[in-house]
Amino acid sequence: MSATAGEQTRPGAAQWYLDPARLEDDIREHSRVAVGGYADLVAPGTITCSAEAVGLLRTIHALETATLEWLRIILVSPTHSDAQVTAFLCTWAYERHWVADALAQVVADHGGVVTDARSRGQWRSEAWQRIAPIGEAVWTNLIGDDVVAAHLAEAAIGEALGLVVLRRLGEREPGLEPLCRAIRATKQVHLNYFRTRAAADLAASSRAQRLVRLRLRRFRWPTAGPAVARTDLDALVDALLTPADCRDEVGALLAALPGSERVRVGLLRHRIILDVGSRS
């Protein structure tokens, strides 16, 4: 059974995915009470926010709906062969769908319109959907199981930055704070899994550590694509992210990932970047 936002107390949820020995038990419980909507928080007339906030919500919505693009890549990689990760991602994708649905409702109630990848540029979207998984499939299957840690580490960083965005948006717009707080509770659970499982995999493989550092050299967040314009991403970063926030949140996360402790976080042209540097 799925929980609504009003039922998000979910006893014990704050402790899910903190113990690597309990990950499968937590996945089972998480799937049983997955968040299936935020209707009580986004009912018409419930939320009042500024025009600027509506624009930011449209961009956050676009980032949430990019879930399927990421999953298309994961599905052709060794990560999909990991039964535990795949089980978690089923609930993760379900909950992200309802996050995007809630954001779209708020935008619509304020006279805005959310657009998907096809309406922004159908040919570009379809071309990317065909090409990206091919390249990922080739190199990830050559590498093997160590790529799982890389995918999870990247997902964890994205979730950590998303939490910063939602916190800052709630602080700027009191009318959005209850919804932002509820979504943060959902996404914190997602971050816990990605971080704990990635840390366990990295602790067991020095090769995975080297691979993660290599991948992080190319890490950029957020990433422009068919579903979201670069100018919208620039506005999101300018409004809701600061170098200090990013260093604090992502720095703490990286400190928990073996082999990534010395990675530094910075801003470059409205993007969050990771400076891997040299290692002794």
| Tokens of residue 122, six digits | 């159908």
CATH number at residue 63: 1.20.1260
Residue 175 lies in a domain: yes
Q: How far apart are CA 62 and CA 56, in angstroms?
A: 10
In the chain, how many domains are there?
1
Residue 183 lies in a domain: yes
Residue 38 lies in a domain: yes
How deeply is 177 buried, as exposed, middle or buried, from its count of CB atoms within 10 A (0-12, 13-18, 19+)? middle
Query: Is the bond into 174 cis (omega within 30 degrees of 0)?
Result: no
| Full-model pTM | 0.88
Residue 213 lies in a domain: no
Q: Render each residue's pLDDT in the chain as its tens digit; 280 residues.
A: 455 554 456 878 989 999 999 999 999 999 999 999 999 999 998 999 999 999 999 999 999 988 877 888 888 888 988 999 999 999 999 999 999 999 999 999 999 888 764 454 444 555 555 666 666 666 676 677 899 999 999 999 999 999 999 999 999 999 999 999 999 999 999 999 999 999 999 999 999 999 998 888 888 777 656 567 788 888 998 899 888 888 888 888 998 999 987 777 766 555 666 665 544 3
How deeply is 43 buried, as exposed, middle or buried, from its count of CB atoms within 10 A (0-12, 13-18, 19+)? exposed
In contact, 272 and 216? CB cutoff 8 Å: no
Q: How far apart are CA 125 and CA 250, in angstroms?
A: 30
Report the 10 Å Cβ neighbour count for 218: 10
Q: Give the 3-state secondary structure of residue 46.
A: coil
Domain holding 168, by residue range, is: 5-205
pLDDT in tens, 152-208: 999 999 999 999 999 999 999 999 999 999 999 999 999 999 999 999 999 999 999
